[in-house]
A and B are shown apart, each in its own frame.
Chain A
Amino acid sequence: MKGPVAWWNDPWRPPRFLVAITAGYLAWSLLPVLIAVAYSFNNGRSRTTWQGFSFRWYWGDNSLSVWHNAALHTALLQTIKLGVIATLITVPLGTLFAIGIDRWRGRLPAGANFLMLLSFVLPEVLLAVALLFVITTVAVPVQLGTTAQVIGLVTFQVSYPAVLVRARLATIGPQYEEAAMDLGASPLGALRRIILPMLIPAIFASTVLVFADVIDDFVLVRYLSGNAATEPVSVKIYNTARAAPTPALNALATLLLLAALTAVVVGFLVYRYMTRADTTTKDRGIGAFAGEV
């Protein structure tokens, strides 16, 4: 047995300090959420004192539970609706944008690329206020509500797929395409049959990330919401948290968390299935899925 000093100075020791920090960070990061999820099963009205286990706030309570409260349903439905529509528009738009910008030389694409990066880092409230101004002062055929929210969300999120696809394109390199064209394919054909399939991991990663980000977006959807039917869960939580929240809110947030998790797990499984023969992905673990290649 080594003595304590030797144990401390062992050159093969694991990086204890870093492990400690990582463990501490993960606990700090996830514990409050786990506690909030736990209290969603609370039997009483309190969110701070445990009063027993029950499903009261999910379906038990006749007026306040998520199942019985029409306002909470609407919020959940609106969130999922926004998530699906926004993702369906964002991912193709961003992917095509990335492919086009990546190959096109010139100042316009460089400018467009900068604009896209800018939309990535600008605080969301700027875009939300700007779009609110547009809708309320310019006679556009868009009212406050779901359409406006989708437009805002797509604009804000389009950089996600764009950045991920570009990164993947950089890794793939031009050789496959050039080989295809040498063998007689047109550029569009090479794109469709060679490059797009190789981009599937990045496209899927961005789909999942965009969906997860949209369903908990808050600033944009709040400014661009019309009446209460277009307020998603995040706005409901904000409105109610400042007043008199019941654990039904915790239940709602937990359900949303489950929805996001399901989306990610499904996406990951599909990704593994689709890339089972792909040799350009170094590992098929979560790392590649997260878009880092």
Chain B
Amino acid sequence: MPEPTTRRQFLARAAILAAAAPTLGSFIAACSKSGQPSSSAPPTLTIAAPDHPVKWDIPADNKPIADGLAPEKGATLQLYNYADYLSPDAVKSFEEKYNTKVQISTFNDTDEALTKIRGGNVDYDLYFPSYDQISKLVSGGLARPINHSYIPNIKNVWPSFTNPWYDQEWRFSAPNFIYTTGIGWRNDQVPENIGALPNPYDSLWDPKYKGKTAIIDDWHTAMAMVLLRAGKTDVNTSSDADLKLIGDQLNALVAATSPKVTITMYSDLPAGQIGLCQMWSGDIINSALSYMPEGVSPDVLRYWFPADGKGLVDNDLLIMLRSGKNPVLAHLFINHLLDPDVAQQNFAQTGYQPPQNSINPESLVSSGFIPPNLAAAVVKPEYFDAGYRLLELDPANDAAWHNVWRAFKAGGGA
């Protein structure tokens, strides 16, 4: 049996360890990753807003690719997207047209996606975020500027998107889908007309729907809804009082109705797992078009969004990543998605509306594409004037919001 350590031996070893640790530390520091590209990031983040539009600089070391290059051969285009957020037929037609392969990797939320991209270990070509990450992507040197000559199909898109407030002259982004965030329900489980209530958001806090509700698993979307319910319209607030209100209301929500926190409403609602939820407009259309089980008619689905457009309205983006190895293919894919036929296919298979000139919001219901009970899910251009956007937050505010959200997700607070 080995003799027990004497105190002297123990102290000697501890002293050696303590002395060695800093040198070990500096040794490892030498091997540490000097990090992620472009440490010339400014100390503060430029936040874009509709009343404060931003034109991003194109740095000298990150120029767009040259004109007229041929698509990469034998390559696999890497897309990084939500699950079920891109039409499989659109992908297949691109693969056939350019004789290439496309691989889609998925993420559950954009925070996790950005962390992975910034970690530098992945080589995605195209990413599908919303504009609440554009400043970080551009100033962190993660985004690749667009060479407009590859994307003539931009003319098919609403003109405002060639000079959006978040990316003037569309130097880094192209528009993907437009959507609103409202409330979806099925009237065989929830017979009440939620839209006719004085404050429809209250229904999610109503105990009679306990166990049947869900909210969106996205911190900004869910917390903004709490603000809207309370009548506050600054959904990017940095006020401590407002954040505290959100935290308390979220706790009340768990106590009252114990909602699921998920982004799979588009399959849970038609399957009957939930009856009432906060929902994106594209999800409810997707439910009606693709996910109803056999024997259940899409007539049971309903959607509510404020008719005056004073709710959450957003669009998301297509951004090329600098770490991608197939820039030409990425440009061509963006162009492909902006083609009217492909965009229509994308609409049909994901439920989300692309801002195409050829898609007239007024005629979507009358042409039978969208069932009349879901007319409220169509996104009208007027919404963009009156609606509230989920903007990017500066780091301190972002941290504060995330802390509230994490406290909620931990099931904390009685």
Contact = CB atoms under 8 A, between A and B. Distances in A.
Contacts of A244: 84, 264, 266-267, 291
B105 A110 contact: no
Contact of B83 (A44, A140, A243): A243
A244 B287 CA distance: 11
Contacts of B264: 242-244
Contact of A229 (B32, B33, B103): B103
B40 interface: no
A240 interface: yes
Q: Count chain B CB atoms within 10 A of each CB in A71, A136, A137, A243 and give the residue with the most.
A: A243
A63 B291 CA distance: 17
Interface string A241-258: 011100000000000000
Interface in A65-104: 71
B267 A107 contact: no
A110 B32 CA distance: 32
A137 B84 contact: no
Contacts of B83: 239-240, 243
A227 B124 contact: yes
Interface in B37-80: 78, 80
A272 B78 CA distance: 48
Contact of A135 (B34, B80, B104, B121): B121
Given A227-B78, A243-B264, A144 B33 contact: no
Contacts of B267: 243-244
A105 B105 CA distance: 50
B294 interface: yes
Nearest to B104: A228
Contacts of B119: 136, 144
A26 interface: no
Contacts of A267: none
Interface residues of B, number: 28
Interface in B65-108: 78, 80, 83-84, 88, 103-106
Contacts of A106: 2
B122 A144 contact: yes
Contacts of B293: 45-46
Contacts of B291: 244
Nearest to B30: A139
B31 interface: yes
B121 A137 contact: no
B363 interface: no
Interface string B120-132: 1111100000000
Q: Count chain A CB atoms within 10 A of each CB in B105, B262, B291 and give the residue with the most.
A: B105
Interface string B286-305: 00000101100000000000
B168 to A, nearest CB: 32
A10 B33 CA distance: 74
B123 A227 contact: yes
B348 to A, nearest CB: 15
B274 to A, nearest CB: 13
A63 B122 contact: no
Given A226-B122, A243-B83, A139 B106 contact: no
User: Ordered nearest first, which 3 A-B pairs have the shortest CB separation?
Assistant: A228-B105, A244-B267, A144-B121
Given A136-B119, A243-B83, A244-B264, 9 more contacts: A71-B104, A136-B120, A137-B32, A138-B33, A143-B121, A226-B121, A226-B122, A239-B106, A244-B291
7 contacts: A44-B294, A136-B121, A145-B121, A227-B78, A228-B105, A240-B83, A242-B262
